[in-house]
Amino acid sequence: MEMNGVQRLENGRAGVTGRNTNTAGVGGNQVSFEKLLQESAREGLNFSKHATKRMNERGIAMDSQLMSNLEHAVEGARRKGAKDVAVIGTQGVFIVNVPNNTVVTTMSQSDMRERVFTNIDSAVLM
């Protein structure tokens, strides 16, 4: 039976017509949100718009080897409990927010005039 878009289900619960009435966390095979977030974060690094723009401006070319090295460095920092890490390599410096698995900015070796990094808790030499 349906009234004003709300339908009465056989078990006596009400549901909205055309919408999924399943709720997260119900059932025996539930996975925590934190675990899902961690698993998706390990699928690969993301680059913020700012980082992508800086890479283009500064001529930093990303290839599969550099990406693999960067992901390996970030994973090592994650195992040590890092939150915001500066990954320093010959191609430049990548500032990565580890919990979000996101490169937030980059700079080439020639752009590091001041050589001062703030708001990081770790550094990894690549």
Neighbours of 115 (CB within 10 A): 6
Supply the pTM of this predicted model: 0.66
**CB-based burial label for 95 (10 Å; 0-12, 13-18, 19+):** buried
**Are residues 126 and 87 in contact, defined by beta-carbon separation less than 8 angstroms?**
yes
- Residue-wise pLDDT for 20-67, tens only, equals 444 444 455 566 656 655 555 556 899 999 999 999 999 898 999 999
Question: Which helix (H) or strand (E) covers residue 69, if one does?
Answer: helix 64-79
Distance CA 66, CA 36 (A): 26
- Residue-wise pLDDT for 73-104, tens only, equals 999 999 999 999 999 998 899 999 999 999 99
